[in-house]
Structure 1
Amino acid sequence: MPPFDLQKTTAELATGYGSTETFEALRQGQLAKRMYLVQRLLSSAEGHPDAEAAGLPQAFAHLTRLQHEHPEVVGRLLSSPITGGWLLRALHHLANLPREDAGVVLRQTFGYPGWLAAAAMIRSRTAGEVTVVVRRGVVMLPGVGLLRLAAADVDGYGTAELRITTDGILTAAHRGRETTIDTTVSERSDQPGEWIPVGRLSSDDDPVDVILDDLDPFRTMDTRTMPTAISASQLRVWQHTFRGAWQTLQEYHPAYAAGMAAGLQSIVPLSAEPVVQVLSNTWPEAYGAIRAALPSGRFNLASVLIHEFQHAKLSALLDYVELTDPAAAQKRFYAPWRSDPRPAVGLLQGIYAHTAIADFWRVHRNHPDANKNLAETQFARWTVQVDRAITEFKNSGALNEAGASFVATVHRTLAPWLDEPLSDNAFWVAEEVVLAHQVAYRVRNLTPDEGHVRQLAQRWHSGDPAGEVHSFDRAFRPASLTVDWRKGDLPADYVRLAGAGSGVRAGAGAGDLALAAQDYPAAIAAYGAEIAKSPDAPDLWAGLAVALTRARPSDGMRPLTEATETVAALYGLLAAEQPGEPVGAEALVNWLTEGPR
């Protein structure tokens, strides 16, 4: 049972926001989950030789003693995102690693509680000694810093004796050598030595304190992850961008900022330097952490923080309440922000997070430093796409009663935004984005009936009308269920939303450039020529669909827009049958739409 009022918490989070009380409830829920997992791990590892060798039982006994004297310090360490991720990895390794491969990996993994105990001693100003595992030359002190005792290739696994004083002086004895460092040193150097303090991100006028976790070996699920400390100068760039993002959140998005102030504990950097392509995610087992590349600019980082923390909130809630029907677990759904079909829970997560993204751009339009054209276009885009996803999801049968209520509340938040005034440019670009994504998704993921495609080919050759062109919404390509969702940007990243942003993404083709210039005949010709070379390229069919729809808005392009998988498969078949006589993509669409050639 959750240690909070589940119905009240669910209803409040469905609004998209949440009170301080709600986030404290989520924190307590995660702590209860961690304590359960700790007991499960101790029980499963009892008597295991690698657990004994790594000092797992002794480390937890040490943490238990410290918890009696310093419950807040130990509670915060056990509630930290990385502890949650480590617990999942430890249980997974214990259950799945072949015995012959387990030794060093399990001992490295089981050593984490010793690191937690040492960190708890430092953070609570408790003097004493503790034995810890040395993993590939390092000892991590979560929330404090990293101690490097040997080169990674010299020491895959070992132990060290730590002596800690009340003023934070630590002496480590390892392989006949003693190393003494001052753990209160919190400033990083561009030339890191034996001691690297954790990076911290803060705000000028708010007590927010977020760890920039580039050191902890358990910050990802990859067992090979090792510390890749960013430099002091790179940390300053992160700090500058974070400070600007946090100020934006406080001033323009205070309801989201309040939740993050209560629940955001760490950011795991996926890049040291700013990047143009937004890259971020969350790990459900690591509530309170966000993994993100440093975006180019404070507004982009503010958007990333809102997006990913929504995922974290919902993941924490889903530990205690089921919102989808278990009978729908194997079903896959179209999500207008992904290139691959999504399970019901994944679609629910996307709806929740992208509603907040729509809200961000809705408000951001009024920021004095905003690119108003881009902000309005993004607002229109996400509002339309999320509304479509919600409407289809509500009618899918995949939601249970609690889930239907949750999604209905989300929809009530979003619905009034559809009536907000928009510029003509923002409206038509949003329409193009929705269309392009739908078309590319269909080509990438859906497989039409082969017999139907051959029947259409016979009619083409005989000059007869095409007749009904069927769509195949549930006929997924097997590969589409494991597709890399980061691939498949639509025409050159929507050609930066048709000029709403700054410049065109690298890789834009002739069709993309013509489309951005609104030269639709040139775009149609260019896409047709490119499709002749790459008949199954989803982004080319998306560009052609947008160009044709804009050039001939009254014609109706239903086969191309709603059965693109059939159109693309038919084109490929005709091209294979007539290798010396290329089929015109526009001519084929005209025939499917209008009748005989």
Structure 2
Amino acid sequence: MAPVPGAFAVPPGALVRLAATRQRTSDLDLLHAALHSRRLVLLKALLARVGHGGLPSEAAAAFDRDWRLLARAEAPAPAAARRQLDYPAVGGWIVAALNTDGPDALATALRPLGGIAVGTALRTGARLDTVLPTADGHLTLPGIGVHATRTRHVRVRSGPRGVLLTPQGRRTRSVLLGPGGRGTGAGWTSLAVLPGSAARLDDLGTGPAPGPGTDRAAWLTRWRAAVALLEAADPWRAGEVTGLVRSVVPMTPAAEGASSGTLRAAPWAVHSALPGTARRFAEVLVHELAHSKLAVLADLLPLHDADASAVHRVAWREDLRPLGGVLQGTYAHLALADLWSRVATRPGASPDARRAARARRAEYGEQVADALPVLLNSHQLTHHGTRFTVSMKQHLHTLGQGRNTPHERSDSLSGDGDVR
């Protein structure tokens, strides 16, 4: 598992386009390649940590087995394996394991590696025949599903036609998983596919943290409605959401504070409580996807040299924010201002819809305008960070002047399409 070769130089045009929140396919290819390379570096860091971690002999042997399984699973089709290794929950798991304190905690954190190897084999068609331990009677395949076996071990046999999971020590029917991850058999639950995309509703806790019980029907209905609204108002942005989001992870609603978020270790995952309306869900998707893009870019190209001190005040938060948080929030709010600008100028919109959209654009635009001087006057942006921020400022000035293409429909985010 070697990192992607070559330096990841970011062309000036790509930096400007990303700053304007509307990148080209080639810009995304660069981000995806950089993310994968970083994922492999983190895996190698985990290998080094295990080598120096003083693990108990049983845990060290289990890790060696699972690492070899992963290498075998990847071998037949590295491109397909890359899709599995880049799944957001895998990144979250690696970072959580690297941050454990002490051999016992590390040994516990390493247990999901076997399930990652099996999930990779399902994508590549690799032939595996092994027995894996479960965690509290569950074998988890990130991005695919969970097998509740109620046994301590599961025999895994995989090949081009799928994966067969057979609980050991109990008379239970085996589970057969097809290459797409759909399974039949007692105890198996697949993640739900979010319609019109390759994303999953990751409500089974396939990442480092357990998932809450969810109403899948409500989530899928709200997702469909949010995407439909984006398609009506801004087809490009709708395509970005359905093409880039890999998972939506339900959160327990917070009594106060943020109701959605993005983990830097797990780009392309949207963590959110169920939004109350389709319009709100559309905004959450655009907002959190902007955070993912900037998280990957910031790992690829340092944009500032500030520490984590929270010393800056912004319009969208009551607490003080570190400069990195100001940059992230400014970028996400610029994406929302961009979205509402296109809603306000689409053909066929009613005067009331245009007024509502212009008000939303102005609200987000003012938040961005207030934050830009904080960034530019901080003296902590790098050369690239300054160029990025100036490009954000230039894009903000253009909003409201663009014209949408004639084929866009007249219903909108500011219309009556919300699902309550």
- Please report the TM-score for the alignment, with normalisation by the length of structure 2: 0.83
Structure 2 distance, partners of 1:15, 1:253, is 15
Partner of 2:195: 202
* 1:3-43 Cα distance to aligned partner (Å, 9 max, x none): 43324443331121211111111111111111111111112
1:45 is displaced (CA, Å) by 0.3
Alignment of 1:336 onto 2:315:
yes
Q: Are the counterparts in 1 of residues 172 and 186 from structure 2 also a CA contact under 8 Å?
A: no
Equivalent in the alignment of 1:4: 8
Matches within 5 A, 1:126-205: 126-150=126-150, 158-164=152-158, 166-168=160-162, 170-184=164-178, 194-203=187-196
- Residues 325, 173 of structure 1: alpha-carbon distance in 2 compared, 3 angstrom cutoff: closer
Q: 1:15 aligns with which of 20, 26, 33?
A: 20
Question: Which of residues 351, 373, 391 is equivalent to 2:373?
Answer: 391
Which letter does structure 2 place at the counterpart of 1:161?
R
- The unaligned stretches of length 5 or more in structure 1 are 220-224, 421-499, 503-597
Distance 2:344 2:162 in 1: 48
Q: Secondary structure at the match of 1:6?
A: coil
8 Å CA contact 2:202–2:250 kept in 1: the answer is: yes
> Partners of 1:371 and 1:296 in 2: how far apart?
20
Distance 2:376 2:244 in 1: 30
| 1:39 is the counterpart of 2:44 | yes
> Equivalent residues in 2 for 1:187-336 (5 A)?
194-203=187-196, 208-219=197-208, 225-230=209-214, 234-270=215-251, 279-326=259-306, 330=309, 332-336=311-315
Distance 1:107 1:195 in 2: 26
Alignment of 1:385-534 (within 5 A): 385-417=367-399
Q: Residue 319 of structure 1: SS of its match in structure 2?
A: helix
Aligned pair in 2 of structure 1 residues 259, 227: CA closer, same or farther (>3 Å)? closer
- Structure-2 change in CA distance of 1:19 and 1:77 (3 Å): same
Residue by residue over 1:72-127, the C-alpha shift from the partner in whole angstroms, topping out at 9 and shown as x without a partner, is 2211111111111111011111xx24x5xx2xx43442122210111122233444
Q: State the partner residue of 1:58.
A: 65
Note the C-alpha offset of 1:257: 3.5
The Cα of 1:392 is off from its aligned counterpart by 3.3
Q: Is the 2:69–2:128 Cα contact (8 Å) retained in structure 1?
A: no
Measured after TM superposition, the shift of residue 48 of structure 1 is: 2.3
Match of 1:30 in 2: 35
Q: Post-superposition shift, 1:253?
A: 2.5
1:330, CA displacement in angstroms?
Answer: 3.3
Q: CA deviation at 1:372?
A: 5.2
Report if the CA contact (8 A) 2:211-2:250 is conserved: no
Residues 346-385 of structure 1: matches in 2 within 5 Å?
346-365=325-344, 368=349, 374-385=356-367
Distance in 1 between residues matched to 2:74 and 2:189, nearest whole Å: 26
Secondary structure of the 2:140 match is: strand
Q: How far apart are residue 277 of structure 1 and its match?
A: 9.8
Spell out, residue by residue over 1:542-580, the C-alpha distance to the aligned partner (whole angstroms, 9 max, x if none). xxxxxxxxxxxxxxxxxxxxxxxxxxxxxxxxxxxxxxx
Cα displacement (A) at 1:264: 1.8
In structure 2, the CA distance between the partners of 1:318 and 1:51, relative to structure 1 (3 Å rule), is: farther
Higher RCO, 1 or 2 (CA under 8 Å, sep at least 6)? 2
Contact 1:210 1:267 in 2 (8 A): yes
Deviation at 1:197, TM superposition (A): 0.8
The alpha-carbon deviation at position 417 of structure 1 amounts to 4.0
CA deviations 1:297-326 (Å, max 9, x no partner) are 322211111110000000001112221234
The answer as to whether partners of 2:194 and 2:220 remain within 8 angstroms in 1 is yes
Shift, 1:287, TM fit: 1.2
Gaps of 5+ in 2: 403-413
On the 8 A contact 1:3/1:32 being kept in 2, the answer is no
- What CA distance in whole angstroms lies between the structure 1 residues aligned with 2:61 and 2:134? 10
In structure 2, how many angstroms separate the alpha carbons of the residues matched to 1:279 and 1:361? 21
- Secondary structure of 2:167's partner? strand
User: Does the Cα contact within 8 Å between 1:59 and 1:113 map onto a contact in 2?
Assistant: yes
Relative to structure 1, the CA distance from residue 182 to residue 271 in structure 2 (aligned partners, 3 Å threshold; closer, same or farther) is farther
Say whether the 8 Å CA contact 2:175–2:183 is kept in structure 1. Answer: no
Counterpart-to-counterpart distance in 1, 2:376 and 2:122 = 51
Change over 3 Å in CA distance of 1:31–1:125 after alignment to 2: same
- 2:201 maps to a residue whose letter is L
Amino acid at match of 1:299: R
Q: 1:81 to 1:171 in 2, by over 3 A?
A: closer
Residues 377-427 of structure 1: CA deviation (Å, up to 9, x unaligned): 32222111211111233223232222111111000011244899xxxxxxx
- 1:334, distance to aligned residue in structure 2 (A): 0.9
169-178 or 287-296, which moves further after superposition? 169-178
Q: Which structure is larger by alpha-carbon Rg, 1 or 2?
A: 1
Q: TM-score, normalised by structure 1?
A: 0.60
Which whole-Å CA distance do the structure 1 matches of 2:163 and 2:305 have between them?
54
Determine if contact 1:2/1:320 at 8 Å carries over to the other structure: no
